[in-house]
Amino acid sequence: MPTTIGNNRRLVALAAEKKNMVEVCFKPAGRKVWVQGGSTLLEAAEEAGIAVRSECGGEGICGKCKIIVKDSDVANEVTEAEMKHLSRLEINSGYRLACRSRIWRDATVMIPFESRLITREFQVGGLEKTVDLSPAVNKFYVCLPEPTLSDVRSDLQRLIDVLSHQSPDTSKLDIDYRILRKLAKILRDADWKVTITVWHNRRIIAVEPGDTSDKLFGLALDVGTSKIVAHLVNLMTGETTSAVAVENPQTTHGEDIVTRLAFGADEVSLRKLQKLSIQGINKLIQEACVNARVDSNSIYEVVAVGNTAMHHLLLAVQANYLALSPFAPVVKRLTSVPNNSLNTNLRQTSMITFLPIIAGFVGSDTIADALTTGIHESNELSLLIDIGTNTEVLVGNSDDIISCSCASGPAFEGAHIKHGVKAVRGAIEKVQIDSNSKVHYSTIGNTRPLGLCGSAMIDIVASMFKSGIIDDRGRFKDRHIPRIQRDIGEKEFVIVSKEETATSREITVTQKDINEIQLAKAAIFAGCSILTKRKDIELRDLDRVFIAGAFGNGINLENARLIGLIPDLPIKKVTFVGNAAISGAKIALVSKKARDTANILSKRIRYCEITLEPDFKTEFAHAMFIPHKDLSRFPSVKEMLKGV
């Protein structure tokens, strides 16, 4: 096992000598770590707490974990996998894949910018909705009568009797056992003046000396496959006081759900995955509290949402069967556990509530999407598309809602795209290619470009199609365009030359990248199409479309429609709602009623396993075209193409 070096550096060094351990120094952070000789550099980086990109979970498949090793003789020889992912120039410059290089001697390792997981400036917010403030946690400042020989009620009864004057129903009130243990001293030290925090009129989760009734915070959490978002909410006012996000640290064990579920098949690895996501949550707690100058002890409840896999993994519920047909979840219902079951850095007695889920691949994030957009409250027929590593689709209204999950893959999040990045600072988010193949772009944060995020890929494919660079099958046309070049036989289109980029390497879009986007959008469109069919409606019957997802400042809806990602409807019917999941989690955090709604939705929303639908293959194949094989389904695009 690797060992982190602390203050007792000499002692560790001594131990290291004996146990064949080596010291690795990671640049530019300068962080040092001791690991067992023979560990991979990916393991060493994890031990050092440095997040290195890895989509395949260290299998040598994705090629994203590029690092530079200063001396070549400290590690094993370059492997075949590395030959495949690294250019000759890179290999000569010391580039390695972190997951393939095993380190045998002390080494200095440089992590290039593009391999670092950047944990800030994620999109953290979504559509906000006004809801009545009725949180599940409430505080009551009370002065208790002291026990006397003529009043020897128990300490607990004394508390409950006083509460009964202020709280609606105390008949089912219980107390957290950890508080009961200390209650006698708390009350007497506080001279019988205490603030009691009650959860759901059911459970006393805090008894604090004095009047702390003005300090009542909750945390909304959206635990995504690739990132975790937290909003700190003042439960007295409903105001969001801080919004933060972090890469899901589980990502080092695979960017996609299936890899992670496979990794977590045994108890030890499951606990490891749980610990990693809790580490991420702890970072968020700290950051949110610092930002808002709030003591983390003032956070009494967390409402978490996430896809079913993230939900199960965070609870350390055995989830490997989720990846196997028929993909049954272990638990669907709303689940609340005291924090001591998860051991985040909140008070032990805080409650953590997971909203209910819908199915194995449609999680509580989708329930939260519904809470945010209110599609279950409206007579209008709505389509909701939450684009992520898996894309969830809802179709329906107050009468009935049907859901599905589309295996869109993480292409819209920048993965599986040669120069793809998430919607972080430096990501190109908007692109326009004019008729002369000139490229106009803008980046998040207006810095030098780092790579292409999902919204840029939509723009690029749309622009290339519109300007005739690619055909309706996404293939580069056989035209001479200066910006098209070949790399190892594959055609690619240069978006930004190396002189302009942050990495000093050009940013291109390859034939494969375009196909990845086609695969992703085809999966999503097929889902939308099949769900509407199952509801016996046409896509054009839809009154509203909501697009949710981590697209920075949003996506160009015309372009999304042009490539056939969303149905051909008037753009005014389409709304980009950003991270609707975190907004929905917040709604449930501040409103008990919304939790009841979530429970109802969890039971009511039907689930459709679209891959089993007989028309799925055809729908998918037709949707691979740009915008679609059947142009009659995209009349506005058909019209536009006429003008080209």
Q: Please give the residue ranges that form the binding site for a copy of itself (CB under 8 A).
A: 147-149, 151-158, 175, 177, 180-185, 188, 315-321, 325-333, 335, 337, 341, 359-360, 607, 609, 612
> Which one, 319 or 439, has the nearer CB to a copy of itself?
319
8 A C-beta contact, residue 510 and residue 487: yes
| Pairwise CA distance, residues 230 & 307, whole Å | 15
Shortest Å, Cβ 600 to a copy of itself: 15
8 A C-beta contact, residue 570 and residue 576: no
> Which one, 66 or 200, has the nearer CB to a copy of itself?
200
Shortest Å, Cβ 356 to a copy of itself: 10
Shortest Å, Cβ 543 to a copy of itself: 29
Contacting residues for 391 by C-beta, under 8 A, at least 6 apart? 385, 405, 406, 408, 520, 523, 524, 527, 549
Q: Letter for the amino acid at 421?
A: V
> Which one, 15 or 337, has the nearer CB to a copy of itself?
337
> Which one, 56 or 180, has the nearer CB to a copy of itself?
180
> Which one, 31 or 202, has the nearer CB to a copy of itself?
202
> Which one, 147 or 374, has the nearer CB to a copy of itself?
147
Six-digit token string for 522: 């085809």
Instruction: Match 């008037």 to its residue by tokens.
Output: 570
Q: Letter for the amino acid at 454?
A: G
Shortest Å, Cβ 180 to a copy of itself: 6
Q: How many residues does the chain have?
A: 644
> Which one, 146 or 541, has the nearer CB to a copy of itself?
146
Shortest Å, Cβ 145 to a copy of itself: 11
Q: φ, ψ for residue 111 (rounded to 5)? A: -105, 110
> Which one, 314 or 560, has the nearer CB to a copy of itself?
314
8 A C-beta contact, residue 418 and residue 55: no
Shortest Å, Cβ 261 to a copy of itself: 11
Q: Helix (H, G, I), strand (E, B), or coil: what is residue 599?
A: helix
Q: Helix (H, G, I), strand (E, B), or coil: what is residue 245?
A: strand
8 A C-beta contact, residue 243 and residue 229: yes
> Which one, 323 or 428, has the nearer CB to a copy of itself?
323
8 A C-beta contact, residue 99 and residue 65: yes
Shortest Å, Cβ 328 to a copy of itself: 4
> Which one, 292 or 315, has the nearer CB to a copy of itself?
315
Shortest Å, Cβ 201 to a copy of itself: 15
Number of helical H runs and strand E runs in the chain: 17, 27
| Pairwise CA distance, residues 451 & 503, whole Å | 9
Shortest Å, Cβ 572 to a copy of itself: 37
> Which one, 405 or 455, has the nearer CB to a copy of itself?
405
Shortest Å, Cβ 74 to a copy of itself: 39
Shortest Å, Cβ 303 to a copy of itself: 17
| Pairwise CA distance, residues 386 & 376, whole Å | 16
| Pairwise CA distance, residues 419 & 140, whole Å | 54
Burial of 154 (0-12, 13-18, 19+ CB in 10 A): exposed
| Pairwise CA distance, residues 616 & 527, whole Å | 8
Cα angle value 264/308/223 (rounded, 5°): 85
> Which one, 118 or 331, has the nearer CB to a copy of itself?
331
Instruction: Match 């023979």 to its residue by tokens.
Output: 38
Six-digit token string for 610: 């679209």
8 A C-beta contact, residue 33 and residue 23: yes
Cα angle value 113/549/609 (rounded, 5°): 120
> Which one, 187 or 456, has the nearer CB to a copy of itself?
187
> Which one, 72 or 154, has the nearer CB to a copy of itself?
154
Shortest Å, Cβ 193 to a copy of itself: 17
DSSP secondary structure string, 181-239? HHHHHHHHHTTTEEEEEEETTTEEEEEEES--TT--EEEEEEE-SSEEEEEEEETTT--
Instruction: Match 């937290």 to its residue by tokens.
Output: 230
Shortest Å, Cβ 183 to a copy of itself: 5
Angstrom distances, CA of residue 597 to CA of 133, 233, 374, 377, 604: 15, 20, 11, 10, 10
Instruction: Match 């179709």 to its residue by tokens.
Output: 395
Shortest Å, Cβ 580 to a copy of itself: 24
**CA distance between the termini of the chain:** 63
| Pairwise CA distance, residues 613 & 260, whole Å | 27
Six-digit token string for 511: 């034939």
Shortest Å, Cβ 595 to a copy of itself: 16
> Which one, 332 or 595, has the nearer CB to a copy of itself?
332
> Which one, 333 or 475, has the nearer CB to a copy of itself?
333
| Pairwise CA distance, residues 643 & 636, whole Å | 11
Shortest Å, Cβ 321 to a copy of itself: 5
CA torsion sign for 369, 371, 372, 374 is positive
